[in-house]
Chains A and B, each alone.
Chain A
Amino acid sequence: MGVSVSRVSLRLLLLTGVALYPATALAQAVDYQALQETVGEPVTTSVTGKPQRASELPASTVIITRDDIVRSPARDVPGLLKTYAGVDVNRWTAGQSDVAVRGGVQTYNARLLVLVDGRQVYLDHYGMTDWNLLGVQLEEIQQIELVRGPANALFGFNAASGVVNIITRRVGDAPSAAATAELGNYGIGKLAGSVTLPIAPMIGIRLAGAHTREDERDIPSRLLQPTQIFDVASDQISGDVTGSFDGLEAVIGGGHATNSQIEYLPSQLLSNQDYRSSNVHGSVARDTSWGGLTLNGYVNWLNAEYGVGTTANTTDPIVLRNRIIVTQASSLVRLDSDNTLRLGVEYRNNRLLSAYQFAERIAYDVVSGNAMLDLHPDDRFALTVAGRLDRLWLRQSGVITQPAYDDPRDFDRAFTRFSFNAALLIHTSEQGMLRINGGRGYQLPSLATFGSRLPIVTPSPIPIFVAGSPRLSPVLMWSGEIGYSHPLGATRLDATAFVTRTENAIASPGDGLQTELFLSPLPSLVARFRTTGNYTTYGTELSASGAIGSLTWRGNYTWTHTDEQLTSLTLPIPYALSPRSTTPVHKANVTLGYNVGRLSITGVARYTSATRQFAFSSMPQLLLYHVDDALALDARVGFRLTPALEAFVAGENLSLASGAAVSPIPADRHVRAGLQLAF
């Protein structure tokens, strides 16, 4: 059944693509840098698929530019995102970060889709993002785009609370290079570089590589932890070739990345992980006078080893091998000078191989169609509507692990979901703009959530397993927001009020396991991943930014309130999910930047109110640990030795606020220094 479905899906996709090509063609390769320099502000395609100015987007969006990245004290993408409104960044351990948008803080956050140049780096095996396994370093990035709120109508499942799209630098007309060498306390070390080379008038190559490391933070003895604790190490190498031929651009490339670190699993157990990922990707974009066509495809492979060194004599980690194949075709059509239509189709095949699941192979195919209409009836109004239909076929194959806790036919399942986004923009004055938008999206249960089958070590005389469930349904999210933005001279003001409703949230079993008893062939207990209830997040985001001469400034405040109807938090806590406890109510950030001559100075102050975060005590018992409110200070000072070479010193959490990581493990003060080359 599964095989025939995938064959039918592929055929359908190819037929649809062939049908689209001659009639519509393209969504062109976008030169973000050139467009930004032309219109005087960042440009993105992440909201609707068409190029749009940052000030005219039909969704709440953050665009972090190359200049922002270069001047920031941050060392990675979560570090850059954490200073913006509506964004929560938890650094659970030295290596593990989670980024949550508008509440819903939890480990292994499955609700934020992360892409690099449109290619998914979000990991489907567990529904999470390993930010040290992106395969891209800050040196290579042109801009980072964050869309707040569901964006499923364009991006499909898992863009349930937002999307981060990381855009890398294009190969230009002249060779360019960027490199960083830095050392710091806590064993921080980084060597990263990228080069772009035009090797012929129409052909360029890009190569990048990096090695980073850092010591793990001191984990308090009151917290349950494995015998061995990994330090953080990651490596990456990537490259691609770009060819441009009179309105047509083709890119082909690949990469490989590794990462070792200790992480909090969704169950809140600390565990050492080894990740290895590889990818190949290719795309063709054709620009025409009426729009364009993009064909895109990639394959991602992941080899994840869980529980490495859990005990001193454990040498047999849990191995999960995930492969995802994605092909996409989209067409952007300028209906006239003001209105645009976008049509797209997508096919993806996703499979997970492991000895620790219901069967040797758990897989699904998804076929999707999406459409977006962007209408501008006059200069005052703009209306954007987008919809997407996803059809998923789940299946299992290979040897079934015994004893089996589900009927194999439970995996022979298909379902359809429709997601949408809509936005109305009203220009209230020459520059003021009111935005009313909302949508419905879905978070797909991960492959592990469907089919995992993990034995857990307990003193119980009856074996206990944590198991997925093939009967789980996607988590539903509704969102609505109203925003207003207005420039006042050189100052830009933005205010947004939002509400997000999450229904049938899925959680991993925690403590005091709620189990099913199986008696055949031998007694065993099974605790399931399951839906644990609903929660609603309300909030406001206030932002302002501007420049006075050489001084740039940016500030924001976020208030977030959560109502939840989830499983009880009385001991023993059965499921480690409580966004009301884990999401800070108040957050505020102020960033100041000053450039004079060869000197650049950036200072950041970040306030986060107190929270409670889940962790297992050494007993072991799942508890909510109080995390103090924190005022963290970050800074970076750079001095340009030559036009291309800068020496810098940077620090994060200089105020040594223990709650700055918003983790049960207290935050450290990090200081590092190095050299940065860019030309």
Chain B
Amino acid sequence: MLKPWTLAVGLVALGCATPLAAELNVPIAVRVVSFIQPSPTGVVSAAILYDPGDAASEGEAASIERGVGSGLSVGRSVIRTRRVPVSAIGTLSGFRVAFVTVGLRTEQGSIAVAANRSSVLTISSDRSCVQNGHCVVGVTASPKVQITVNRAAARAANIRFGSAFLMLIKEI
């Protein structure tokens, strides 16, 4: 049986500051926003789409809120978040970005429709959301940072990224 200190050392060695794979890496997700063309300026409102009845979804929503705090500066813009229950996704207008939490697979299709209608950039840690073309950007950080962009979803939402960024990520 492992002693507690052994576990602690192991966690430190593996980089315990890194978010768990199931959670969105907020600093990276926010950084992605700065590569939209043309570059956003000023306050960028971001919705955190979550399911109030789903523990994993609520947990990730809380994690994103903590990560962004009262606002995160990136490039020439400041990202500010507000929780939006998935039942209210018709109100995505006014947002430029939407963080799609885990546990919303059945709602991802309707999220995409709402996001496309308002040209909202959808970002998720749920790889399947991007693979199914319901989210524009997928971010995973373990074992190393992988950013995936769904070209069709980006086009549908009228989102364009700088070419330097696109050469560094996986586009599907």
Using a CB–CB cutoff of 8 Å, the interface residues on chain A facing chain B are 26, 28, 30-31, 34-35, 37-41, 43, 50-53, 55, 173, 201, 246-247, 287-292, 332, 334, 337-338, 340, 430-431, 487, 489-490, 547-549
14 additional A-B residue pairs with CB within 8 Å, beyond A50-B167, A337-B171, A490-B14 = A28-B164, A30-B164, A34-B31, A34-B35, A35-B168, A37-B31, A38-B147, A40-B28, A40-B145, A51-B168, A247-B162, A337-B166, A487-B143, A548-B13
Confirm or deny: B56 has a beta carbon within 8 angstroms of a beta carbon on chain A: no
The 7 A-B pairs at the shortest CB distance, nearest first, are namely: A337-B171, A40-B145, A38-B31, A51-B164, A549-B12, A28-B164, A51-B167
Q: Which one of B14, B141, B165 has the greatest number of beta carbons of chain A within 10 Å?
A: B165
Which residues of the other chain, A, contact B52 by a CB distance below 8 angstroms?
Answer: none
Does B75 have its Cβ within 8 Å of any Cβ on chain A?
yes
CB distance from B137 to the nearest CB of A (A): 11
With contacts A337-B171, A490-B15 taken as known, whether A34 is within 8 angstroms of B34 at the C-beta atoms is yes
The answer to the question of B151 belonging to the interface, with a C-beta cut-off of 8 Å to chain A, is: yes
Residues of B within 8 A of A334 (CB): 163, 166-167
A487 vs B15: C-alpha distance when bound (angstroms): 14
Closest to B161 in A: A289
Decide if B13 touches A489 in the complex (CB within 8 Å): yes
Assuming the contacts A39-B145, A487-B143, asked whether A289 and B35 have C-beta atoms less than 8 A apart, the reply is no
Contact A52 B168 (CB under 8 A): yes
Cβ–Cβ contact A287 & B162, under 8 A: yes
Give the contacts of B1-49 with A (CB-CB under 8 A).
12-15, 27-28, 31-32, 34-35, 37-38, 41
B14 to A28, Cβ gap below 8 A?
no
| Given A37-B31, A40-B141, A289 and B171 contact (CB-CB distance below 8 Å) | no
Q: How far is the CB of A200 from chain B (nearest CB, A)?
A: 12
Instruction: Considering the complex, give the chain A residue whose CB is closest to the CB of B171.
Output: A337
Known: A173-B76, A337-B151. A35 touches B165 (CB 8 A): yes
Residue of B nearest to A34 (CB): B34
Listed by A's residue number, 20 A-B pairs whose Cβ atoms lie within 8 Å are: A37-B27, A38-B145, A38-B168, A40-B144, A41-B144, A43-B168, A51-B164, A51-B167, A52-B167, A247-B37, A287-B163, A289-B160, A290-B163, A332-B163, A334-B167, A337-B171, A338-B171, A340-B167, A431-B143, A548-B13
Which residue from A38, A201, A290, A489 sits with its C-beta under 8 Å from B165? A38
CA A430 to CA B166, docked complex, whole Å: 21
Contacts of B31 in A (CB 8 A): 34, 37-38
> In the complex the two chains form, what is the Cα distance from A590 to B137 in whole Å?
40
CA distance A547 to B16 in the complex (A): 12
In the bound complex, residues from chain A placing their C-beta under 8 Å from that of B170 are 337
Let me know if B172 is at the binding interface, CB within 8 A: yes
Q: Are A38 and B32 touching (Cβ within 8 A)?
A: yes
> Given known contacts A489-B13, A548-B12, A548-B13, is B143 in contact with A430 (CB within 8 Å)?
yes
Say yes or no: B163 contacts A28, CB within 8 Å.
yes
Bound complex: CA A337 to CA B160 (Å) = 14
Q: Which residues of A contact B162 (CB under 8 A)?
A: 28, 247, 287
Q: Beyond A53-B168, A337-B172, is A289–B163 a contact (Cβ under 8 Å)?
A: yes
In the docked arrangement, what's the CA distance between A26 and B166, Å? 14
- Output the nearest chain B residue to A37 by Cβ-Cβ distance: B31
B76: chain A residues at CB < 8 Å are: 173, 201
Which of these, B14, B27, B168, contacts A489 with CB under 8 Å?
A: B14
Question: Known contacts being A39-B147, A39-B168, is A291 close to B13, with CB within 8 Å?
Answer: no
Q: Report the nearest B residue to A173, measured CB to CB.
A: B76
- Between B35, B144, B169, the greatest number of chain A beta carbons within 10 A of the residue's beta carbon is seen for B144
How near does chain B come to A619, taking the closest CB pair, in angstroms?
59
**How many angstroms between the C-alpha atoms of A288 and B141 in the bound complex?**
28
Bound-complex Cα distance A291 to B164 (A): 8
B168 to chain A, nearest CB (A): 5
Bound complex: CA A249 to CA B163 (Å): 14
Chain B hits for A291, CB < 8 A: 163
Closest Cβ neighbor of B145 among chain A residues = A40
Q: How far is the CA of A337 from the CA of B28 in the complex (A)?
A: 21
B163 touches A431 (CB 8 A): no
Could you tell me the distance between the alpha carbons of A622 and B168 in the complex, rounded to whole angstroms?
52
Q: What are the residues of chain B within 8 A of A38 when measuring CB–CB?
A: 28, 31-32, 35, 145, 147, 165, 168
Chain B proximity of A43: nearest CB distance (Å) = 6
State the CA gap A132–B172 with chains docked (Å).
Answer: 47
- When chains A and B are docked, how far (Å) is the Cα of A28 from the Cα of B12? 38
A289: nearest chain-B partner, CB-CB: B160
Instruction: Give the Cβ gap from B32 to chain A, nearest Cβ, in Å.
Output: 7
> Once the chains are docked, how many angstroms separate the CA of A148 from the CA of B169?
25
Could you say which of A34, A50, A52, A332 has the most chain B C-beta atoms within 10 Å of its C-beta?
A34
Rounded to whole angstroms, the CA-CA distance of A289 and B160 in the bound complex is 7
Smallest CB gap from A337: residue in B: B171
CB of B131, distance to nearest CB on chain A (Å)? 14
B76 to nearest A CB, angstroms? 5
**Docked complex Cα distance between A28 and B151 (Å):** 20
Q: In the complex, what residues of A have CB within 8 A of residue B147's CB? A: 38-39
Query: In the bound complex, what is the Cα–Cα distance between A40 and B76 (angstroms)?
Result: 21
The contact string, 1 if C-beta is below 8 Å from chain A, for chain B 56-78, is 00000000000000000001100
Give every chain B residue within 8 A of A430 (Cβ-Cβ). 143
CB distance from A242 to the nearest CB of B (A): 14
- Chain A contacts of B171 at CB under 8 A? 337-338
Give, as a whole number of angstroms, the nearest-CB distance from B94 to chain A. 24
Partner of B13, one of A173, A247, A288, A490: A490
- On whether the beta carbons of A34 and B163 are closer than 8 Å, the reply is no
Q: Which of A34, A35, A52, A55 contacts B75 (CB 8 A)?
A: A34
Q: Within 8 Å CB of A28, what residues of B?
A: 162-164
> Which has the most chain A C-beta neighbours within 10 Å: B34, B41, B151, B167?
B167
The complex places the Cα of A50 from the Cα of B38 at a distance, in Å, of 21
- The distance in angstroms between the C-alpha atoms of A487 and B170, with both chains bound, is 20
A40 to B19 alpha-carbon distance, docked (Å): 13
CA A26 – CA B162 in complex, angstroms?
Answer: 11
Q: How far is the CA of A40 from the CA of B168 in the complex (A)?
A: 11
Chain B residues within an 8 Å CB radius of A35: 164-165, 168
Closest to A338 in B: B171
Residue of A nearest to B15 (CB): A490
User: CA of A38 to CA of B146 in the docked complex: distance in angstroms?
Assistant: 10
Across-interface contacts of B172 in A (CB, < 8 A): 337
- Identify the closest chain A residue to B149 (Cβ): A337
Q: How far is the CB of A410 from chain B (nearest CB, A)?
A: 47
Which among B76, B160, B164 has the highest number of chain A CB atoms within 10 Å?
A: B164
B144 in complex: contacting residue of A246, A340, A431, CB < 8 Å:
A431
| Residues of A with C-beta under 8 A to B163 | 26, 28, 287-292, 332, 334
Which residues from chain B contact A40 at a C-beta distance below 8 Å? 28, 141, 144-145
* Chain A nearest Cβ from B73, distance in angstroms: 8
Residues of A within 8 A of B143 (CB): 430-431, 487
Cα distance, A53 to B141, chains bound together (Å):
15
Residues 129-167 (chain B) with a chain A CB within 8 angstroms = 141, 143-145, 147, 151, 160, 162-167
Complex: chain B residue closest to A43, CB-CB: B168
Contact with A along B75-86 (1 / 0, CB 8 A): 110000000000
